[in-house]
Amino acid sequence: METLMVILVGILISVGTYLILSKQMLRIVLGVSIVGHAVNLLIITSGGLKMGTAPLLGETAPGFTDAIPQALVLTAIVINFAVTALVLVLCYRAYRNFGTDDMEQLRGNEHE
């Protein structure tokens, strides 16, 4: 299962990287979002999968799944979301201001 997840993470990272390298701003935001998902899955995976029950003390089955990666991912999800929201609005502003979403055109003065 871990191997399968790792391969999935690899594919997601590839897709995300490809999107980040493209010219259009929106694609870059999409790419960042996908890489975020990939990393979250990787953190969970590295804690070991399907071992035991959910980390709730009421459960009776022996052993819990690792709670630390879950706490970490929970934090990561929220921060990811905050960043995505900010970047999205930034894109919107940049597009409104400069009239283009082509990253190759959004360069310093001497490249215009």
Partner 1 sequence: MFYAYIFLPFMSAILVPFLFKYFKHRVHTGWFVLLVPLSIFIYLSQYIPSVAAGGTYKYTLSWIPSLDVNIVFYVDGLSLLFGTLISGVGSLVIMYSIFYMSKAREALHNFYIYLLMFMGAMLGVVLSDNLLVLYGYWELTSVSSFLLISYWYERKSSRQGALKALLITVLGGFGMLAGFIILIMMANTYSIREMIASLEVIQSHVLFIPAMLCILLGAFTKSAQFPFGIWLPDAMEAPTPVSSYLHSATMVKAGIYVVARMTPIFGGSSVWFWLVAGIGIITLLYGSLTALKQTDLKAMLAYSTISQLGLIMCLLGVGSLAVYYGPGESGTIFTVAGFAALFHLFNHSTFKGSLFMVVGIIDHETGRRDIRYLGGLMQVMPITFTIALIGGLSMAGLPPFNGFLSKEMFFAAVNDVSKAGIFGLGSIGILFPIIAWVASIFTFIYCMIFIFKTFGGQYRPEKLTRKVHEAPWGMLISPVILAILVILIFFFPNVLGKYILSPALTAVLPTMQASSYDLKISAWHGINLELLMTFGVIVVGFLLFTTSKKWIQVMRNYPQGLTLNHWYNQALTGTERLSASLTNKYMTGSLRHYLIYIFSFFVIVLVSSLLLLYGIRFDFSNHAAISIFDVGLVLAMVIAACTVLFASNRIMAIVALGALGYMVSMFFVIFRAPDLALTQMVVETVSTLLFLLCFYHLPKLKKGIERIPFKLMNLIISIAMGLTVTLLALSANGHKLFEPITSFFENAYELAGAKNIVNAILVDFRGFDTMLEISVFAIAGLGVYILVHQRSKRREQYENE
- Can you tell me which residue has the tokens 């979301």? 81
Site for partner 1 in 45-64 (CB under 8 A): 45-58, 64
Query: Distance (Å, rounded) from C-alpha 95 to C-alpha 19?
Result: 18
Minimum gap (Å) between residue 22 Cβ and partner 1: 7
CA distances, 18 to each of 29, 55, 101 (Å): 12, 36, 17
Site for partner 1 in 79-98 (CB under 8 A): 79-86, 88-93, 95-98
Classify residue 94 by its DSSP letter: H
Least separation in angstroms between CB 35 and partner 1: 9
Cβ at position 43, least distance to partner 1 in Å? 10
- For residue 32, state whether it binds partner 1 (rule: CB under 8 A): no
